[in-house]
């Protein structure tokens, strides 16, 4: 029987990523636009009990990332969750996982593009509505597509600059805002009702998603058995602590009023203790953070479309490489156009919820893959990540994911079901075409 190790074609890749590098990559992907917008929605749903949602998300993600680590240490293939699911369940389920990942990336890009224009509209009155909004969306995706078609190095430099630009306003916000917190605004009201908590977690999990993107280069990680779990736990701990601090400062400054600032709660809070300059700083930081994420997304996400086109599951034009720049230019353009259409037709909140339903379904498949992989003999000659009760953790993760998904609407599930149907038809058609 073929083992996961034997299936690896990536022995030529250089294993250069250590704990710090991988953890930094995860934090960079995870801490992005969501935290500039979502604290208001969390406060609206739970009030002063908002920390409960962050803690539940942290517990859920701990179980999920542990399952990812269990699977990742047994599959040293570049591709992340897609690779884990394919090795565990075969090409069809792996293809569905790839489609879910692709759908999540499209929805996330569209949602954050919409949020980006909202931030610009707050910076420049009138820019977030009507024709100016559409023009900014088109200009943004055109610029991002152009930059990334020109080459990976250019896009990477833009991302590096965006990391500094998004962290600086958050550091200033926390360092100064902590002195203006009103303790009464943070008084614990008791554990919130299950339905309210579940609905809030379903939205807030958007701010924790990103680990599966950072784990795509797992075939290039030094000693995956140790590096992958250490990096994801370090990144998750840092991210959760940062989010709790941001929520506490914003809610401690604005109190119940925070729920009224749905588009830019941190900017509203900063305006209270830093004046108009502080508000503009945080708004600009949020806009730059969203732009940086979009640039990173344009750098990485089209590669999924490219792979599907290259392998014949989607039109082969998507698998073309630019003759001069050696980039998947057709896939980049298609991804950019799709994100623009989503951003012009839907709100950030709606697209974020659809994205979360997609990624939680993807996580569910990965946890099921982890359960299957840990139940099999370890790959010969490959050290693996082992934990007491390793088979229990993926089961617990799937139970938590199912609980969160139970708070999604029928419409959101309908989008997911339609995706599965279309993907299955495409897969079947391509298999028939290949004989």
pLDDT surpasses 60 at 1: no
In a domain, 14, yes or no: no
Buried b (16+ CB within 10 A) or exposed e, 254-292: beebbbebbbbbbbbbbbebbeeebbbbbbbbbbbbbbb
pLDDT in tens, 122-162: 999 888 888 999 999 999 999 888 887 776 555 555 555 66
Q: Summarize the confidence of residues 261-283 as an average pLDDT.
A: 93
Residues 278, 175: contact at Cβ < 8 Å?
no
Nearest to 352 by CA among 136, 144, 105, 127: 105
pLDDT given at position 355: 95
Max CA distance (Å), the chain? 69
pLDDT of residue 8: 44
CA proximity to 210, closest of 174, 238, 249, 187: 238
Q: Are 82 and 218 in contact (CB under 8 A)?
A: no
Produce one character per residue of 381-404: b if its CB has 16 or more CB atoms within 10 Å, e if not.
Answer: ebebbeeeebeebbbbbbebbebb
Name, in order, each residue with C-beta under 8 angstroms of 264's C-beta and a sequence gap of 6 or more. Answer: 36, 37, 118, 119, 122, 282, 283, 286
pLDDT at 76 over 70: no
Q: Among 268-282, 301-315, 390-404, which stretch is predicted with the lowest mean pLDDT?
A: 301-315
Neighbours of 15 (CB within 10 A): 17
Secondary element (H or E) of residue 299: helix 265-300
Kindly report the backbone phi and psi dihedral angles of residue 76, in degrees, each rounded to the nearest multiple of 5, phi listed first. -90, 60
Tell me what pLDDT residue 78 has: 53
Q: How far is CA 134 from CA 112, 113, 239, 276, 393, in A?
A: 14, 11, 33, 27, 46
Residue 134, token pair as written in the block:
């559409």
Residue 10 lies in a domain: no
16, pLDDT greater than 60? no
Among 267-271, 288-292, 401-405, the minimum mean pLDDT is found in 288-292
Q: What single-letter DSSP state applies at residue 221?
A: B
Q: Is the pLDDT higher at 210 or at 411?
A: 411
On whether residue 1 sits in a domain, the answer given is no
Alpha-helix residue ranges (DSSP H) falling in 90-223: 91-123, 130-150, 152-177, 194-204, 211-214
Domain that residue 57 falls in: 19-379+390-429
Full-prediction pTM beyond 0.85?
Answer: yes
C-alpha closest to that of 58 among 245, 236, 229: 236
> Does residue 9 belong to any structural domain of this protein?
no
For residues 303 and 330, is the Cβ–Cβ distance under 8 A? no
Residue 156: the pLDDT is 54
229: left (phi over 0), alpha (psi -120 to 50) or beta: alpha
- For the segment 296-303, the average pLDDT, to the nearest whole number, is 79
CB 24 within 8 A of CB 401: no
With respect to residue 3, please indicate whether it lies within any of the assigned structural domains: no
- Which is more confidently placed, 300 or 228? 300
Residue 53 lies in a domain: yes
Instruction: Establish if 185 belongs to a structural domain.
Output: yes
Cα 160 to Cα 147: distance, rounded to the nearest angstrom: 14
Residue 287 confidence (pLDDT) above 80: yes
| Bridge partners (DSSP) listed for residue 221 | 17
Confidence of residue 217 (pLDDT cuts 50, 70, 90): very low
Q: What pLDDT score was predicted for residue 365? A: 96
Higher-scoring residue by pLDDT: 10, 379: 379
- Evaluate if residue 315 carries a pLDDT over 60: yes
Is residue 435 situated within a structural domain?
no
Q: In this structure, what CATH number is given to the domain that contains residue 242?
A: 1.20.1740.10
Q: Is it the case that residue 357 has pLDDT exceeding 70?
A: yes
Who wins on pLDDT, 17 or 121? 121
**Structural domain total, the chain:** 1
């Amino acid at each position: 029987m073929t083992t996961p190790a034997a299936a690896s074609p990536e022995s030529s890749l250089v294993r250069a990523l250590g704990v710090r590098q991988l953890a930094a990559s995860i934090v960079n992907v995870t801490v992005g636009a969501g935290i500039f917008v979502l604290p208001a929605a969390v406060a609206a749903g739970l009030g002063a009990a908002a920390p409960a949602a962050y803690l539940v998300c942290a517990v859920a993600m701990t179980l999920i990332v542990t399952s990812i680590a269990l699977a990742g240490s047994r599959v040293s293939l570049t591709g992340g969750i897609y690779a884990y699911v394919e090795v565990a369940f075969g090409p069809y389920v792996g293809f569905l996982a790839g489609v879910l990942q692709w759908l999540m990336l499209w929805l996330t890009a569209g949602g954050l593009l919409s949020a980006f224009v909202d931030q610009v509209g707050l910076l420049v009155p009138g820019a977030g509505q009507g024709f100016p909004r559409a023009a900014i969306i088109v200009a943004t995706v055109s610029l991002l597509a152009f930059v990334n078609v020109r080459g990976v190095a250019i896009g990477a430099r833009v991302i590096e600059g965006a990391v500094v630009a998004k962290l600086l306003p958050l550091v200033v916000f926390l360092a100064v805002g902590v002195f203006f917190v009103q303790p009464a605004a943070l008084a614990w009201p008791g554990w919130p009702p299950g339905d309210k908590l579940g609905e809030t977690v379903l939205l807030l999990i958007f701010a924790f998603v990103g680990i599966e993107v950072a784990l795509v280069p797992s075939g290039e990680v030094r000693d995956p058995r140790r590096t992958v779990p250490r990096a994801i736990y370090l990144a998750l701990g840092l991210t959760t602590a940062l989010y709790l601090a941001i929520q506490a400062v914003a809610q401690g400054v604005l109190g119940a009023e925070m729920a009224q600032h749905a588009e830019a709660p941190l900017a509203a809070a900063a305006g209270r203790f830093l004046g108009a300059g502080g508000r503009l700083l945080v708004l600009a930081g949020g806009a730059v953070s969203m732009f940086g994420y979009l640039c990173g997304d344009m750098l990485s996400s089209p590669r999924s479309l490219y792979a599907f086109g290259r392998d014949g599951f989607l039109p082969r034009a998507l698998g073309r490489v630019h003759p001069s720049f050696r980039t998947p230019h057709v896939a980049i353009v298609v991804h950019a156009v799709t994100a623009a259409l989503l951003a012009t037709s839907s709100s950030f909140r709606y697209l974020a919820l659809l994205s979360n339903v997609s990624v939680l379904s993807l996580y569910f498949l990965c946890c099921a893959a982890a359960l299957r992989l840990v139940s099999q003999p370890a790959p010969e000659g490959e050290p693996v990540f082992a934990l007491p009760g390793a088979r229990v953790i993926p089961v617990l993760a799937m139970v938590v994911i199912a609980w969160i998904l139970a708070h999604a609407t029928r419409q959101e599930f309908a989008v997911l079901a339609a995706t599965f149907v279309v993907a299955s038809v495409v897969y079947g058609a391509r298999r028939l075409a290949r004989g």
